[in-house]
Amino acid sequence: MRLAAESVSLGYGGDAVVVDEVSLEIPDGLTTVIVGANGCGKSTLLRGMARLLRPMSGQVVLDGKAVHKQPTRAVAKTLGLMPQSPIAPEGITVVDLVGRGRQPHRGALQRWSPDDDAAVAEALELTNTLDLADRVVDELSGGQRQRVWVAMALAQKTDLLLLDEPTTFLDVAHQIDLLDLLHGLRSSRGTTVVMVLHDLNLAARYADHLIAMSGGKVAATGKPSEVVTVDRVEEVFGLEAQVIPDPVSGTPLVVPIGRHHRPVVHPHAQGA
């Protein structure tokens, strides 16, 4: 395990604790997805692991050392982050934005090198954005823009990639597109992917390892089939639902019941 949290508590100043003594390990080379209701602390936990927040107590460990005691630059070579809905500077071109992902690999006086060109080209190819290379980021569609930000994080060439709700504001086709892209990365590059997702069904489909959070604590971890059950969905999301096998992937599929439908027993319903 290269990345782990050891009884980490996180907050935004003051006494309020958003993440409460969480301990967990991120399996290497797999996709880990963190899910939970609004305000459960999932994005805060991700920010803590990306060292954007200093823990109030406990520590985040990267390669055996506390992440906050390592030099920022060294961490930036190992751990990449795509924050929630980042905003590109006005007028910036795709290659320029993606090229800024090379920052941790360049010395203070080092000039742009062919290695940097190659890394940017590879990131653009992986995200299928090479044909957008000379376009201005402001003028792209939401889906293209999101892929370009992923490309920037890929140009950073880190073994671990953290993403905070990368599918927000994307329509469903682009959500699948982006998640397929991330899944491809972990298969082809062996990148460890950790992301926060809102959509429980997409989380169950794309995660190798699922972390369900509730009230600042970890409610359950494990394979999606172990974590996504009728009782857990009720407990973690406060949602009455049925859980059936996804007809395409076989992963758990959550079907909310809502107030206006009388609960009927579905023939394939799984027990808790």
Partner 1 sequence: MTVQSIDPAAVVRSARRAPRRRLIAVAGGLGAILFGLFALRVLVGDYIITLPDFFRILGGEEIPGATFILMESKLPRAVLAVLAGVAFGTAGAIFQSTLRNPLASPDMLGISLGASAAAVFSIVVLSLNGSALPVAGVVGAVLTALAIRVVAGSDGGYRLVLVGVTAAAGLIAVIQYLFTRANEYDAQLALRWITGSLNSAAWPTIRMLLAGLVVLLPLVAWTVKSQRVLELGPDVASALGVTHRYADMLLLLAVLLCALAVAATGPVAFVAFVAGPIARVLNGGRTTLLGAALVGAVVMVGADYVAAYGFSGTNLPVGVVTGAFGAPFLLWLLASGRAGRKS
Query: Which residues are at the interface with partner 1 (CB under 8 A)?
Result: 47, 50-52, 72-77, 79-81, 83, 86-97, 99-101, 103-104, 106, 108, 112, 114, 117-118, 120-122, 124-125, 130-131, 133-134, 136, 138, 152-153, 156
Which one, 81 or 210, has the nearer CB to partner 1?
81
Least distance in Å: CB of 225 to partner 1?
Answer: 32
Least distance in Å: CB of 152 to partner 1?
Answer: 8
CB burial of residue 196 (10 Å; 0-12, 13-18, 19+): buried
Least distance in Å: CB of 235 to partner 1?
Answer: 31
Which residues is 22 bridged to in the sheet? 8
Q: CB neighbours of 183 closer than 8 A, spacing ≥ 6?
A: 31, 206
Least distance in Å: CB of 239 to partner 1?
Answer: 30
User: Whole-angstrom Cα distance, residue 99 to residue 119?
Assistant: 8
CB of 4 within 8 A of CB of 26? yes
Which one, 15 or 131, has the nearer CB to partner 1?
131
Which one, 137 or 233, has the nearer CB to partner 1?
137
Which one, 42 or 205, has the nearer CB to partner 1?
42
Which one, 92 or 239, has the nearer CB to partner 1?
92
Comparing CA positions, the residue from 217, 194, 214 lying closest to residue 9 is 217
Least distance in Å: CB of 25 to partner 1?
Answer: 21
Least distance in Å: CB of 160 to partner 1?
Answer: 11
Which one, 121 or 269, has the nearer CB to partner 1?
121
Distances (CA, A) of 132 to 11, 85, 129: 39, 20, 5
What is the phi-psi region of residue 73: left when phi exceeds 0, alpha when psi lies from -120 to 50, beta otherwise? alpha
SS3 of residue 100 by DSSP: helix
Least distance in Å: CB of 32 to partner 1?
Answer: 18
Q: CB neighbours of 190 closer than 8 A, spacing ≥ 6?
A: 29, 159
Which one, 88 or 230, has the nearer CB to partner 1?
88
User: Whole-angstrom Cα distance, residue 196 to residue 130?
Assistant: 27
